[in-house]
Amino acid sequence: MTQKIRLATCSLAGCFGCHMSFLDIDEALISVADIVEFDRSPITDIKHVTNCDIGLIEGGICNSDNIEVLKEFREQCKILVAVGACAITGGVPALRNHFELKECLEEVYLKGKGVVNPQIPSDEELPLLTEKVYPIHEVVKIDYSLPGCPPPADAFMELITAIKQNREPKLEYALRHFD
Amino acid sequence: MPQKISPRKIKIDQQDIPFSEGQSIMEAAEQAGVYIPHLCHKAGYKAHGSCRLCTVKASGRWVSACTEPAEVGLQVENNSSELQSQRRAIVQLLFAEGNHHCPFCEKSGNCQLQAVAYSLDMHDAHFAHQFPHRTLDASHPEVLLDRDRCIQCELCVRASKEHDKKNVFALSGRGPHTQLIVNSESGKLKDSEIEKDDEAIKVCPTGALMNRSKPFSVPIGQRQFDNIPIDQQSTGKSGNNEAQP
């Protein structure tokens, strides 16, 4: 691969912690910039992903917009990677799977402490919430997973380096922890 | 002059492993320092054979190493890519059918389920997560029972009966409805005979049963499985399922 790798990233039902960990490669960012060109990402503020080598997905699926974005990434990225516990397992947002969606909405918008003018939001601009929060591999095919909350910066480096070198990424013991 | 009796041996992955009469493949392996992945087995307790993680090929047959007696000349295949791949699938199923939230679990880093997953190079659960609805028993001031993390290995059931002589736990129900129940009138831990130092709590390979006194007391980086894989530290000789301080 002589050209720069085109890379896109996004956070679905996530906290951006995985993105922060990616940035945590510190000065290696300079060498990454030599081999990587960023497409859609919070780093570039490009709104739609187009024709990429790697798509990094942080967070699980909690609403209709997440599904739309995820499918767009799958269509546009040769290699799609689930990044972090929420993308892989649903994570903290999936704790709401123990309750009915209606119960969650009522708790937050009707019964919650300090709620003024209680009403459940129903503006058509707002994405509809899914009944449950799903890991992304239950919606589209995923090629690799980087476990961790967040995955260590070195795991991102290994992934990018391996793909650049046309080999399978190999996560050493310290890079495949679930917390 | 007494005739020299050659020791009884099996072969595990081409390595000669001596055993004594009555030992299982697992016991012989542990004695020789050979790791066979397992979760429901613990040295000193009667074999259960339920988690199937220790499945090996013994002279061409699939058997669980913890229940299969060692016999002279047995050829055992343990560390093959085929077996490791099947074991990884078993662990993935365990993760998918429970609610294992490693990032905020007190047992994380000291959890055998997690350690086995690391050791088998598991990166995700692969299967669809079930998100089962299970109840938590936080009624006891010193002991927590979080059924979300229970893998139904029955180690606590055996430990409570055989070691603690209390009979606090049992499995009830069938299939996906199976759950750990507590032997007390209310069904709650607070009304049972459980005490914080009971073996039944120490043997739990996950965070399902925990002593509540010191959660998160060991910093990340110093927990039992942070740096050394379970296959390099658990030969079962210590028989200790508990996290090292």
Local structure of residue B6 (DSSP, 8 states) = P
**Rounded CA gap, B144 and A97, in Å?**
22
Nearest CA in chain A to B116: A177
Q: In 3D, which of A29, A38, A27 has the Cα closest to residue A4?
A: A38
- The pLDDT score that the predictor gives to residue B4 is 61
pLDDT score of A41 more than 80: yes
Cβ-defined contact of A179 to B118 (cutoff 8 Å)? no
Distances (CA, A) of A118 to A37, A76, A105: 46, 41, 11
Name every chain A residue with its beta carbon within 8 A of the beta carbon of B123: 88, 144-147, 171, 176
Who among B102, B128, B131 is closest to A178 (CB)? B102
Query: Percentage helix, strand, coil, to 5, in chain A?
Result: 40, 20, 40
Name every chain B residue with its beta carbon within 8 A of the beta carbon of A97: 131
Cβ-defined contact of A177 to B226 (cutoff 8 Å)? yes
Identity at B226, one-letter amino acid code: D
pLDDT in tens, B143-165: 999 999 999 999 999 999 999 99
- The pLDDT score that the predictor gives to residue B188 is 98
Name every chain B residue with its beta carbon within 8 A of the beta carbon of A176: 118, 121-123
- Chain A closest CA to B203's CA: distance in Å? 22
pLDDT score of B121 more than 60: yes
Superfamily (CATH) of domain A5-93+133-175:
NADH:ubiquinone oxidoreductase-like, 20kDa subunit (3.40.50.700)
pLDDT score of B142 more than 90: yes
Cβ-defined contact of B131 to A132 (cutoff 8 Å)? yes
**Rounded CA gap, B244 and A120, in Å?**
49
- The pLDDT score that the predictor gives to residue A43 is 87
Query: What's the whole-number average pLDDT of chain A?
Result: 95
- What residue ranges define each of the domains in chain B, with the CATH number in brackets? 9-79 (3.10.20.740), 100-229 (3.30.70.20)
High-pLDDT (> 70) share of chain B, %? 93
Per-residue pLDDT averaged across B170-190, rounded?
96
- The pLDDT score that the predictor gives to residue B245 is 32
Per-residue pLDDT averaged across A16-34, rounded?
93
φ and ψ at A56, to 5 degrees? Answer: -105, 120
> Residues of A27-37 as b/e, b for ≥16 C-beta within 10 angstroms?
eeeeebeeebe
pLDDT band of B6, cuts 50, 70, 90? low
- Is the CA virtual torsion B92, B223, A178, B118 positive or negative? negative
| C-beta contacts of B12-21 below 8 A and 24+ residues apart | B12/B56, B12/B76, B12/B78, B13/B76, B13/B77, B13/B78, B13/B79, B13/B80, B17/B70, B17/B76, B19/B70
- The pLDDT score that the predictor gives to residue A3 is 86
H-assigned helices in A26-175? 28-35, 64-76, 84-89, 101-109, 153-164
pLDDT band of A44, cuts 50, 70, 90? very high
pLDDT in tens, A124-135: 999 999 999 999
| Domain chopping of chain A, boundaries | 5-93+133-175
Residue whose entry in the numeric block shows the structure tokens 């000065």 = A27
Per-residue pLDDT averaged across B164-173, rounded?
97
- The pLDDT score that the predictor gives to residue B2 is 60
- Chain B closest CA to A153's CA: distance in Å? 16
Nearest CA in chain B to A85: B103
- Chain A closest CA to B70's CA: distance in Å? 32
- The pLDDT score that the predictor gives to residue A156 is 96
Strands ordered across the beta sheet of B15-18 = B15-18, B9-12, B75-77, B55-58, B61-64
Cβ-defined contact of B129 to A135 (cutoff 8 Å)? yes
Q: Could you tell me which residues of chain A have a Cβ less than 8 Å from any Cβ in chain B?
A: 82, 85, 88-92, 94-95, 97-98, 132, 134-135, 137-138, 142, 144-147, 149, 171, 173-174, 176-179
Who among A92, A94, A145 is closest to B124 (CB)? A145
pLDDT in tens, B186-243: 999 999 999 999 999 999 999 999 999 888 999 999 999 999 999 998 654 433 444 4
- Chain A closest CA to B131's CA: distance in Å? 7
Residue whose entry in the numeric block shows the structure tokens 């020299």 = B4
pLDDT band of B5, cuts 50, 70, 90? low
- The pLDDT score that the predictor gives to residue B3 is 60
Q: In this structure, what token pair is assigned to residue A153?
A: 């910066």
